[in-house]
Structure 1
Amino acid sequence: MVTTTTPLEEELLELAGSVPDPELPVLTLRELGVVRAVHARAADSVEVELTPTYTGCPAIEAMSLDIERVLREHGIREVTVRTVLAPAWSTDDITEEGRRKLREFGIAPPRVRKASGPVPVALGPTRDAGPSAAGESAAGPDELEAVRCPHCGSADTELLSRFSSTACKALRRCLACREPFDHFKEL
């Protein structure tokens, strides 16, 4: 089934996507990849599809209220924000612009996976293997690259805590510049 998006829906999707994330205000909801679609039901009635970063995300209510407010300020009388769980959100949905903004804000963005499909959960070593002597990644074809320090770019980092200020981030430290930093975990 092919669905077409009207110019009004495109405009409203851009507006809804411009809302800052309540937990990471450096990112918009579009850059985070959680606003999936806007459907115009009538001239002044729309439905927004919003996918939380994880089921039970405490920010979903704030996101919904902010989307409703922004769209009402632009003349939409009736706004319904519907939580959509499938397809599930993944850190692959974060845009390149969002990844850049996370780095600039001092948060290591989630690493880009080479393989598609579910992300394996593994409890492993707390230190990342840096690049090899030949300058190549220590990661295999299905593994992720080392978490790079957002301050100095070093791949020589260690995990301090699997959880940080929010459930989606881990606390790490760079062994080169010694600075602690958050890492947006892959999902």
Structure 2
Amino acid sequence: MQRVSDETLIPMLPIEEFERRERRRMSPVADIWDLLDRVKDPEVPVISIWELGVLQDITVQEDVVTVSITPTYSGCPAINAMAEDIVDCLAAAGYDHVNVQTRLQPAWTTSWMSAEAKRKLVDYGIAPMQKDDEGIQCPHCRSVDVKLVSYFGSTACKALYQCKSCDEPFDYFKNL
């Protein structure tokens, strides 16, 4: 069997997501990345900021930990809570000097969400994004017989749907 070198691999993800995963994989501060897996999205507390695709990078210079995050959209009200949770998590682990930077570029996209995050969304009662917003499935009964109630759901990154089979309303994470 012939071994394929990393240089010949073609990423099957958006390049920004591939690079984000590589930053974590190659990071000399893996323990800090692992600590931040405990920080959850305050609006969907079953997924971490890593699984959501918000956590971008971690660097340490001298005794300052700098964490870079990208909001799901530029006016996301949860980004401040995420930053506070990052500082609190790292302070509890003994990191006293933490700087959280918000990056708006490249813009966040739902394609940065992990498969595990999408599964957790369904378990939590939120339909994960679908390519071209087609085939949206009720997270309660799995029916695709659904209707849009409002383009804006509980947050601006979600739409409100109702299942015609089980009559349950549910949020759908928009394909951004």
TM-score band by shorter chain is 0.7 to 0.9
Q: How does 1:18-167 map to 2 (within 5 A)?
A: 18-42=38-62, 44-111=63-130, 113=131, 143-167=132-156
Give the C-alpha shift of residue 144 in structure 1.
Answer: 4.3
Q: Which residue of 2 aligns with 1:5?
A: 27
Do 2:149 and 2:161's aligned partners in 1 also have CA atoms closer than 8 Å?
A: yes
CA–CA distance in structure 1, aligned partners of residues 134 and 158 of structure 2: 17
Give the aligned residue type for 1:166.
Answer: T
How does the TM-score come out when normalised to structure 1? 0.77
CA–CA distance in structure 2, aligned partners of residues 87 and 11 of structure 1: 25
Larger-gyration structure (1/2):
1
Give the aligned residue type for 1:37.
Answer: D
- Structure 2 residues without counterparts, runs of 5 or longer: 1-21
Give the C-alpha shift of residue 17 in structure 1.
Answer: 3.3
Pairwise CA RMSD: 1.6
Give the aligned residue type for 1:153.
Answer: R
Do 2:133 and 2:175's aligned partners in 1 also have CA atoms closer than 8 Å?
A: no
CA–CA distance in structure 2, aligned partners of residues 81 and 11 of structure 1: 17
Give the aligned residue type for 2:168.
Answer: E
Give the aligned residue type for 2:155.
Answer: T
How does the TM-score come out when normalised to structure 2? 0.82
Do 1:18 and 1:30's aligned partners in 2 also have CA atoms closer than 8 Å?
A: no
- Structure 1 residues without counterparts, runs of 5 or longer: 114-142
Do 2:127 and 2:173's aligned partners in 1 also have CA atoms closer than 8 Å?
A: yes
- CA-to-partner distance for each residue in 1:60-117, whole Å, 9 max, x for gaps? 1111111011111111121000011111110111111111111011110111x3xxxx
CA–CA distance in structure 1, aligned partners of residues 74 and 121 of structure 2: 23
Give the aligned residue type for 2:103.
Answer: V
CA–CA distance in structure 2, aligned partners of residues 25 and 170 of structure 1: 18
More helix per residue:
2
Name the count of aligned residue pairs: 153
Do 1:171 and 1:182's aligned partners in 2 also have CA atoms closer than 8 Å?
A: yes
